Chain A
Amino acid sequence: MDTPPKAIAGVSTFLDDRLGAGSFLKRNLRKMFPDHWSFLLGEIALYSFIVLLLTGTFLTFWFKPSMGHVMYDGSYEPLKGIMMSEAYASTLNISFDVRGGLLIRQIHHWAALLFVAGMVVHMLRVFFTGAYRKPRELNWLIGIGLLSLALFEGLTGYSLPDDLLSGAGLRITQGVILSIPLIGTYIQFFLFGGEYPGEDIISRFFTLHILLIPGILLALITAHMILMWVQKHTQMPGKGRTEKNVVGAPFYPAFMAKAGAYFLFTFGVLALLGTFAQINPIWLFGPYTPADISAGSQPDWYMGFLEGSLRLMVPWEINLFGTSGGTIPLSVLIPALVPLGIIMTGLALYPFLEQWVTGDRREHHIADRPRNNAHRTSIGISAVTFYGILWLLGANDEISANFHIGLYETTIFGRFAIFLGPVIAYIITYRVCIGLQRKDAEVVSHGVESGVIKRMPNGEYIEVHTPPADDILAHIRGKKEIPVIESGVDREGIPPKGARSLIGRLRAKMSKAYGTDRIPLEEGHGHGEEHAAVGAGERKEVH
């Protein structure tokens, strides 16, 4: 094939004449994408979002976002003749009277769960490999924005069917809004168009759910993609990979085809789930009434940590002005805002705090292996533990019922675990990281076990060690030094200017702890002539 087919050549010429697209394609058709399984996690979220847009559009064709009362007269016998909102009736209609409606509704719900899950796992990957470092801080912040918006998007969508379960979520949301000091009641009355539940919230959430939030999500995702494209992807350390290159497969044709296949995989798995794994069977719950609740109500997984933190809280409430007002319901306010605030603010600030501590202003394009930045990894795992305990305690009633543990015992355990768990996780993770670094150092200096057992003349058995493969060695040697800010005193015993204040001293101390390499790889040992010696079976390790 020496010339492109006429159809493509003609269109290309037409477009290039008008847009000059040629120079863009010249630069980008062969754009390199480094390959690592963990680089595909964000794509799960991206493709779930596309599935959400497609299935969501389908659902809007039949869904009626109205709280007006109607008598149900559809195909689902058990609810016939019951008064309900139009929203609930139309959701039943989608489920039972539209061909493929149930399938699309279930795919939509599963895709929403996978969307947030994909984002979270992708974020953890970026965090633990330090891929948020300069120049990618902005994309990191966009990512945090996407995650926060996705939670709101999920919350608004969850409330739309107006069944008993979705109403329970809405009621909790209302209670939390009411608890906001000074303006809580006003926000509640404006949001709900008066008293709870009113007749406006479904149509208002509908607009937020299908227009405003997805619009912003789409814009931010586009920005996220553009920045990723312009800044090029990070790569794991390895042979031939430097801070100044990208090693991988070209966009056209390999990466393009792989990405297409990956979208189809994601969609296919969601279709499987939507077909065989029932989710949110709204017809079983009945229409919403604030007077009832179904026991064992559980939110979607990504809201579970808020549920858990509400359950853990102790009954604190203060009245600033006694009987005349100033009520601050700490038992609602703290669990609803503090964990979310700690996690989101911590995530947003981390790249900048790390830069401040290490004084590192360089660009980073080689991703860290999590073990090589033990403190960062430990901080990350503590945060995951903090989130995980809250999340687990969001299901403490299920835990209590299934494992025959007292309900209150699970809560009391959680009240301690939420403080102790992250500390223990930090210590354990730190030790594991150091242990893995030691293992790396050993591989570099002593090689790997070959599986060959040799008997020595004196009767001793030893295992022969061989040097590691080149690419593994390059991967391990990709370990980068973490800079430490200057803190030592000079010859006259005067510390540098930045380290004199209290904060300066703290910073210097943190920097030293964060950056000091406790297990440096032995340079010039194990490579070179030693290498050959090991290969010849002369250097032996007693195992």
Chain B
Amino acid sequence: MTDNTIDQPEDRVPKRVIGTPPATEAVLKDETVHEAAALPGVIYQDPASARKAEKTVALLFLIAFLAGAGFIASYVIFQVGTIDKTSTSNFALGGTLALALLALAAGITTWVRRIMPKYTMIQERHPMASDAETRETVKETFLAGAEESGFVKHGLLRRTLLLAAAPLGLAPLFLLKDLGPLPGTKLRHTVWGEPTKTGKPRRLITEGTGQPIRAADFNSPGGILSVVPEGYEHDLNALAKATLILLKFRPEEIKSGTNLNWTHDGIVAYSKICTHVGCPAALYEQTTHHILCPCHQSTFDAADGAKVVFGPAARPLPQLPIGIDGEGFLIAKADFNVPVGPSFWERGDAEAEAREKAEKA
């Protein structure tokens, strides 16, 4: 794109190549050229090669025309509606558009480089600062205007004006208040703690199939199941906090970090929402019992109360107390005893608080 006078080797050879008429001569020969051509730093191209270049440019412009017409034709000819049709339409439209744009660009570039003169013109540059006289005039004008306005002399006017501006400046902030409700304690609870309409405990539902889980049927040691709360299968706000992962262990595999009272027959439920920034911790490695969050690779030991073994998460995934109802389906016995998901200012050391409570009870 550039023809830098420094970097381009062609400029290092003498400007006048054999067979090339000197610049002044070209001006005289070519009648259509304006007298401005006599300017220093303007070196005309050889008319013969310019005429040759014109053909190249014309060819490129012609290609651009045909491709542009092809774009319009493609729009009319190729319909969308299926994946294959969309793909064909996309290639036809995009291909012709790209060709038209690139041919036009190449044509103009050839025009500039091979038909327009080579320029090394010089323009003067002046310091940005105004001269002292101008600055002095502005200063005097400013002071005179300030004096005339009375803004300096009338202190009461000045102070009441500032006073008047203050509430108007703050008003927009108040208007933003209704953007959302105040947080309250919403981040501390999930729907697992809410009573169901029928008053029965809330069942664990398999994500996707929507089926409740019979404890006796969930027998896949090493497996992991994504679980949502009954009645909130499609409520994204609820799912953002209440989604679980369900795992089954052999009794000897479970370590001290896991609260055995909250398990049922080796089945453990942890919050799926990573305690780092809230991505679903969805990856599970059977051999090591490690739960991995794909976002920032926080790793939790599922056999040991989902404590953090690597990565930026600072807290274990909270465990949900689960049991079974009369029909043998898995249910939540209570809400999480600590807030799930990412940390926030008001959270505090909820784990220590929960421990204290448990000791008192």
Residues of A that sit less than 8 Å from B by CB? 1-2, 30-32, 35-37, 39-40, 69, 75-77, 83, 95-103, 135, 168, 171-172, 174-176, 178-186, 188-198, 200, 231-232, 236, 238-240, 243-250, 253-254, 257-258, 260-265, 267-269, 271-272, 274-276, 288-293, 295-297, 307, 310-317, 319, 321-329, 331-332, 335, 363, 365, 396-397, 407-408, 411, 469, 471-472, 474-475
Contacts and interface: CB of A to CB of B under 8 A. Distances in A.
A32 B342 contact: no
Contact of A267 (B101, B237, B296, B349): B101
Nearest to B103: A268
Contacts of A262: 1, 105
Contacts of B116: 253-254, 257
Nearest to A107: B94
Q: Which of B3, B80, B91, B187 has the most CB of A within 10 A?
A: B80
Given A194-B181, A408-B310, A327 B346 contact: yes
Contacts of A296: 294
B294 A247 contact: no
A175 B278 contact: yes
A458 B272 CA distance: 85
B282 A292 contact: yes
Interface string B273-306: 1001111101100000000001111100000000
Interface in B83-123: 83, 86, 89-91, 93-95, 97-98, 101-102, 104-109, 111-112, 116-117, 119-123
A471 B123 contact: no
B49 to A, nearest CB: 17
A280 B97 CA distance: 21
A179 B243 CA distance: 21
Contacts of B101: 264-265, 267-268, 271
A81 to B, nearest CB: 14
A411 B98 contact: no
A194 B180 contact: yes
Contacts of A329: 314, 342-344
Interface string B341-356: 1111111111011001
Contacts of A99: 75, 78-80, 89, 93
Contacts of A272: 94, 98, 102
Given A236-B6, A289-B239, A315-B314, A271 B123 contact: no
B125 A172 contact: no
Contact of A289 (B236, B241, B273, B297): B236
Contacts of A331: 276, 312-314
B81 A75 contact: yes
B183 A186 contact: yes
Contacts of A77: 82-83
Contacts, number: 348
Nearest to B347: A327
A178 B349 contact: no
Contacts of A248: 119-121
A189 B102 contact: no
B94 A274 contact: yes
A98 B80 contact: yes
B345 A397 contact: no
Contact of A275 (B91, B180, B353): B91
Given A257-B116, A265-B105, A171 B277 contact: yes
B307 to A, nearest CB: 11
B176 A190 contact: yes
Contacts of B98: 268-269, 271-272, 275
Contacts of B29: none
Contacts of A295: 282-283, 294
Contact of B344 (A185, A246, A268, A291): A185
Given A35-B2, A184-B344, A262-B105, A100 B75 contact: yes
Given A35-B3, A75-B81, A291 B239 contact: yes
Contact of A325 (B121, B126, B226, B348): B348
A156 B92 CA distance: 31
B239 A290 contact: yes
Contacts of A313: 312
A439 to B, nearest CB: 17
B216 interface: no
Contact of A103 (B3, B94, B237, B277): B94
Given A246-B125, A316-B314, A188 B183 contact: yes
A178 B344 contact: yes
A258 B273 CA distance: 54
Given A76-B83, A192-B180, A325-B348, A264 B108 contact: yes
Given A192-B180, A315-B313, 10 more contacts: A174-B342, A195-B241, A238-B5, A253-B116, A268-B102, A269-B98, A271-B98, A290-B240, A297-B294, A335-B312
A84 to B, nearest CB: 11
A36 B277 contact: no
Q: Which of A200, A291, A328, A408 has the most CB of B within 10 A?
A: A291
B97 A189 contact: no
A95 B82 CA distance: 11
B186 A195 contact: yes
A195 B81 CA distance: 37
B12 interface: yes
Given A178-B343, A238-B5, A323-B350, A100 B89 contact: yes
B308 interface: yes
B325 interface: no
B108 A257 contact: yes
Contact of B312 (A76, A324, A332): A332
A95 B228 contact: no
A492 B357 CA distance: 75
Contacts of A245: 122-125
A363 B129 CA distance: 10
A69 B233 CA distance: 14
B171 interface: no
Contacts of A471: 5-6, 11-12
8 contacts: A31-B123, A35-B4, A75-B83, A263-B105, A265-B102, A291-B272, A321-B348, A325-B346
B106 to A, nearest CB: 8
B345 A326 contact: yes
Contacts of A244: 124-126
A373 to B, nearest CB: 19
Contacts of A189: 180-183
Contacts of B91: 275-276
B93 A100 contact: yes
